[in-house]
């Protein structure tokens, strides 16, 4: 499996998790942002793979992907559910890579 295929699986998991959260709880939470942080160097093979699928340079090092679910909700919890799902998929296939879910209130 290529990293692009893995990324697509993770994006689908993120979308599904966010949609299920909103179905169950509604769009009720405080506003906020959620993103995936990958602790990788951009000049490595893994770093180049992350950049190729849309990760951008993060302040303080590494690379980030904002709102992997693509949801337009403002609910912080819903976006966190999607980000957590994305990270879970990546860690399942690439456990040696430092990939983390991060978020903040708006």
Q: Which residues are bridge partners to 65 per DSSP?
A: 36
Distances (CA, A) of 71 to 28, 43, 77, 98: 14, 30, 12, 24
Q: pLDDT tens for residues 79-92?
A: 999 999 999 999 99
Q: Give the residue carrying structure tokens 């849309």.
A: 54
Give percent above pLDDT 70 in the chain.
100
H or E segment at 11?
helix 3-25
Per-residue pLDDT of 6-39, as tens digits, reads 999 999 999 999 999 999 999 888 999 999 999 9
For residue 28, the model assigns a pLDDT of: 83
pTM of the model: 0.95
Q: Where are the domains of the chain?
A: 3-105
């Amino acid at each position: 499996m290529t990293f692009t295929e893995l990324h697509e699986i993770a994006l689908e998991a993120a979308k599904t998790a966010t949609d299920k959260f909103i179905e169950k709880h509604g769009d009720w939470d405080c506003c906020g942002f959620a993103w995936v942080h990958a602790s990788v160097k951009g000049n490595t093979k893994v770093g180049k793979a992350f950049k190729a699928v849309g990760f951008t340079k993060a302040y303080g090092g590494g690379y980030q992907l904002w709102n992997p679910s693509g949801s337009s909700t403002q609910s912080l919890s819903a976006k966190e559910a999607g980000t957590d799902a994305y990270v879970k998929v990546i860690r399942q296939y690439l456990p040696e890579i430092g990939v983390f879910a991060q978020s903040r209130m708006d």
